[in-house]
Amino acid sequence: MVKKFYDFVKNSLIPFSQLKGFKGTEYTYPLLYGITGVNIPNKEEINHALERVKEEIGGFSADALWLAELVTSLKDGERFFLVDDAFRWLCVALNEGINGWALLMGKEEKDEVFQLIKKLQEKKLKVFVTGSVVEGTEEFPESVTSFGSSQTGLIYFAQLLVRYALIYGRVPVGDLHEISHSIEENAPGVIFVVGELSSIERLLVQGMLSLGTPVLGLHHTQNLVGPLIVSQTISDMVDKAWRLPNIRARLVFEATPDVPVLVGKVFSHEEILKDDIGLRLEGSLFSFIVTRPSLTVQEDAVTVLGEVKKASTFCVLVELGNRDVDDPMTLWVGRILRRVINYANGIKVKSKGNRIIDLIMTKDALKSGFTLEHLGNLIKTELRNDFPAIGPIHITFILNKEDAKKMHPEICSFIEKRKNKIKNITEESESVFYGCTRCRSFSLAHACTVTPERPSQCGVRPWYMIKAHAILDPGSVYEPCVLIDKGKCLDPLLGEYEGVNHSTERRTGGRVKRIYLHSIFDFPHTACSCFQNIAFHIPEVDGIGLMPRDFKGEAPNGMTWTKLANKVAGRQCLDGVASFSVEYLYSQKFFQGDGGYSRVVWMTDHLKKIAGNAIPEKFRRSIATEKDITTIEELKTFIKKNRDPENL
C-alpha cells in the first residue's frame, strides 16, 4: 500500500516548478495549509513527508493526503476543485434542508451504489462520488457530485472538511490534533466505503480517519485502522451514519392535504398550456390575496362567496384567529400563502403583490373533482406545515365583483396600515428583538440578532419573518427563530443591549458573550456565510471600506471578497470586520457607533449607487470607489482632496 503510493507521488511530482496551487481560494493548497501551516512546500518538505510515508512513521497518513493534493493539482488542475465561494454555499445549503455530506468510494455493483445513493438522499444528505465507484458508471443522478475516477479524488472531499475546520471551527493552521477534533465533532462529512479500494485509496481513507472523519465500511475493514464502523447491509450503514454527532439529523414529516390531485412544491412553477385549460377565473381591479389577523375567527373554515360558473372576479382572504398574530407578521404569512396556493398539480393562481391576476385549472384537475373547497383545505394544511402553531384559519374566496368592490377599501386600508407600522418601527419602540440561528448548522459561533434597524445580514429574513416563525413555528429545526428580550440598553450608540448579550451567549454555546449591533470594532456582530456585504477597517486612513459579495477586484488595501469572507465567516471577528445586508445601508443607525457614513472612505461603485441618497450629501463626493483609486496612497490623496477639513 505505502510503496505504491510512494512511487506514485515520487514520479508525479517531477515537474516541481509547476506547483502553483488552486485558484479561487485563500488557501493555495487547503490540505497542506491546514495540516502543516505551509502554503507552498519546498523540495525538502516534500521529501521529508515522502520518507515518513515510506517508513510509516509519525502522521504519515495525513502527510499522504497533502502529498496527494499536490499530485492531483498537477493532474486534474481546476477540474473538480470547489472554490471558496462554492464551498461556502455548500455550507449554506446545510440551512436549506441538507443534513450532511456523504462521499461514496470503492468498487461495487451499480445497483448497490444506487440503492445507497437513494437512501442517503432520503435522509437529505448531499452525495459525492469518486475513485473506483465512478468507473463503469456512465452517469449518476443530477444531484450527485462526482470528483472523477482518479484514485486521489478523495482529496477534494478532504479539502471541504479541512476548510470547514479552518473557517467555521477557527482551528489554528498546522494543529492536526485540533483539526481532527473539529472535523469529528462538527464538520458535516462522512465517508462510505461500499467496495474494494485500491491501495492508494486505502491509504488516503486511512488519512481521513486520522483527521477524525467518520468512515463506514460495507462487510469488512479492508485493513483500515481507527474508528471505522462496519455494517453488513446498506440500510444499516445509513442508519448508523444518521446517528453520528456531526450529521445534522433533521427530518420533518409534513401533513398532506386531502385533495384529488397530486400536491407538492414541485408543482409551484408548473406551466399550464393553453390547450389544457379547463377553467379560468380572471381577477379584476378589486381582486386581492391578503392575510390578516381576526379576533372573530374561532375555528378552521372555508367559505366560497359566489358561484364558479357566474364568477366575475377572484379574491382570496385568509384570516388568522391566533391572538399572538399582529399585522406585520401577516405580511410574511401572506408570502407563504402565495407560494403554497400553487402546490396542487393543475391549479395555478397568478398574482402580483397583493393583487390576483387569475386562477387557472386544467381539464384533468376539473375532471378529478377539484373544487375551491379543496384549494382552501390545501392552503390550511400547507400553512400549518410551515406554521404549526398558527391557530384557526378562515379562508374566504370571493367570486362576485360587487362583493370584492365593497371589501376593497377595507383591504387597502389594512395593507397601508401594515406598511406604515413596518416603516415606522424602531429599536426604541420595540421591547423585543428577533434571533435566528438557522446558520448554526455550520457557524457554531454565530447567532443572528435582527432588529427593525439592523436587518439580517443575508438580506432575505426580515424581522417580521423571524417574529412569525418564533411565534408560529417554535422549536423548528429548519427555522430556528426566537424572540429576544432586549433588556437594558448598555450603549445606544454602539447598539449594545443586556438581553442581546445574554441571548448571544446562550445561542452560541458560550462562544460569544457580547456584541455591538452598530459597530465593526471590539465586539462586532457575528457572521455566517450568507452575508451580502462586508465592512472592514482600513487602518492606513482610519476609515471603513464596504465591499459586496459580487465584487471581483481588490480594495485599496489589497483585500478581496474571499479574504474578507474567510476572515469573518462563522465567528465574531475582532479585527474591525463585520458583515451586513444591503438594506442596512438605508438604516438610520448604519454603523453609527463608528461614525456612520462619515467614517466610510471607500466602497464599490455599484454599492455606492445602490446606497444613493442614504449617503448624506456632504459625504457622497468624498467616498472613493474602485473607479477613482486603486492604492492606499491614492486613497490618502483622494480623501485629502475631497473631504472637508472638519470631516477628516
Which 3 state secondary structure label does DSSP give 160?
helix
Do 478 and 407 share a structural domain? no
546, 603 contact by CB (below 8 A):
yes
In this prediction the pTM is 0.75
Do 585 and 504 share a structural domain? yes
Do 309 and 193 share a structural domain? no
Instruction: Point out which residues pair with 537 in neighbouring strands.
Output: 544
Residue 494: pLDDT band with limits 50, 70, 90: very high
- CA–CA separation, 319 vs 405, rounded Å? 18
Q: Give the mean pLDDT of 255-275.
A: 87
Residue 383: pLDDT band with limits 50, 70, 90: very high
For residue 647, pLDDT over 60 is answered with no
| Position 259 in a domain | no
- What secondary structure does DSSP assign to 287-340, as a single string? --EEEEE-SS--S-EEEEES-GGG-S--EEEEEE--TT--HHHHHHHHHHHHHH
Residue 640: pLDDT band with limits 50, 70, 90: very high
Output the nine-digit C-alpha cell for 534.
462586508
Domain edge (last residue) among 369, 400, 423: 423
Lowest mean pLDDT among 7-16, 239-248, 391-400, 461-470: 7-16
165, 187 contact by CB (below 8 A):
yes
Do 492 and 637 share a structural domain? yes
Helix runs in 359-517, H state only: 363-367, 372-386, 401-424, 463-472, 498-507
Do 448 and 395 share a structural domain? no
| Position 334 in a domain | yes
- Mean per-residue pLDDT of the chain: 91
Confidence at residue 16, expressed as pLDDT on a 0 to 100 scale? 66
pLDDT tens digits for 322-334?
999 999 999 999 9
Q: Which of 482, 400, 376 is nearest to 436 (CA)?
A: 482
Confidence at residue 252, expressed as pLDDT on a 0 to 100 scale? 57
Confidence at residue 82, expressed as pLDDT on a 0 to 100 scale? 93
Do 113 and 195 share a structural domain? yes
| Position 364 in a domain | yes
Residue 543: pLDDT band with limits 50, 70, 90: very high
Our count of domains for the chain comes to 3
Do 468 and 440 share a structural domain? yes
Do 226 and 111 share a structural domain? yes
Amino acid at 472: L
Do 158 and 67 share a structural domain? yes
Domain edge (last residue) among 399, 423, 447: 423
Residue 490: pLDDT band with limits 50, 70, 90: very high
| Position 257 in a domain | no
Do 209 and 273 share a structural domain? no
For residue 68, pLDDT over 70 is answered with yes
CATH code of the domain covering residue 525:
3.40.1470.10
For residue 573, pLDDT over 90 is answered with no
| Position 601 in a domain | yes
Confidence at residue 409, expressed as pLDDT on a 0 to 100 scale? 97
Do 377 and 349 share a structural domain? yes
| Position 478 in a domain | yes
| Position 493 in a domain | yes
Domain edge (last residue) among 398, 423, 448: 423
The whole domain housing 342 covers 265-423
- Between 158 and 60, whose confidence is greater? 158
For residue 544, pLDDT over 60 is answered with yes
517, 449 contact by CB (below 8 A):
yes
Q: Determine phi and psi for 192, rounding to 5 degrees.
A: -110, 115
- CA–CA separation, 383 vs 218, rounded Å? 42
Q: pLDDT above 70 covers what percent of the chain?
A: 96
- Between 203 and 94, whose confidence is greater? 203
| Position 105 in a domain | yes
Do 218 and 126 share a structural domain? yes
Q: Give the mean pLDDT of 561-573.
A: 86
pLDDT tens digits for 236-264?
999 988 888 788 766 556 678 899 999 98
Residue 60: pLDDT band with limits 50, 70, 90: confident
CATH code of the domain covering residue 385:
3.30.1650.10
Confidence at residue 44, expressed as pLDDT on a 0 to 100 scale? 87
Q: Give the mean pLDDT of 512-517.
A: 96
CATH code of the domain covering residue 214:
3.40.50.2030
